[in-house]
Amino acid sequence: MIRSVLRDLASGPIAVQMRRFLVVGALTAGLQLALLWLFVDVAGLNYIIGATIAIEITIICSYVLNNAWTFRASQNTGVSEYFAGLLKTNLVRGTAIPIQLGVLAALVEWGGVMYLIANVIAIVVSGLYRFVLDSQWTWG
């Protein structure tokens, strides 16, 4: 399955979706970093708590953008379908939160990496996981 997904990323039917997913991901990652900075450096929250809140806000933003653009061919329309998709993406991305927070904490605590840089790495590490699950279940 992984080999097939990787092959499709370059030239297969999901290549366009993956590129759009990456654009949305880059935009929402920027938003997440800005929120994380605000929560930690301005509001004084612990970086793990700030990251958790920032992640949830960007989950909602990602869903709105991905539903409208990335997965518009299988877009969730109608109130109940839309909110069911939002619930599904929260479940998918919710399972990625421990991965992202674990990588973030490990890099900060054991690697001495600045929390914002560590968060970028954590976003990338959990990104492919989120794409595969979202494309197959949330919009599959």
Domain count, the chain: 2
CB 6 within 8 A of CB 89: no
Q: Please tell me the pTM assigned to this model.
A: 0.83
Task: Give yes or no: residues 63 and 94 share one domain.
Answer: no
**To 5 degrees, how large is the angle CA 53–CA 88–CA 134?**
95
Both tokens assigned to 84: 């069911």
Q: Over its length of 140 residues, how does the chain's per-residue pLDDT go in tens digits? A: 667 766 766 777 678 888 898 899 999 999 999 999 999 999 999 999 999 999 999 999 999 999 999 888 888 899 999 999 999 988 888 889 999 999 999 999 999 999 999 999 999 998 878 878 877 878 77
Task: Give yes or no: residues 94 and 133 share one domain.
Answer: yes
Q: What is the number of alpha carbons within 13 Å of residue 12 lying toward its C-beta?
A: 9
Task: Give yes or no: residues 32 and 64 share one domain.
Answer: yes
In angstroms, the CA 118 to CA 64 distance is: 26
Tell me the helices (H) and strands (E) count for the chain, helix number first.
Answer: 5, 0
Task: Give yes or no: residues 39 and 84 share one domain.
Answer: no
- Phi, psi at 112, each rounded to 5°: 70, 20
Only one residue has tokens 């839309």, namely 82
Domain's final residue, options 43, 59, 75: 75
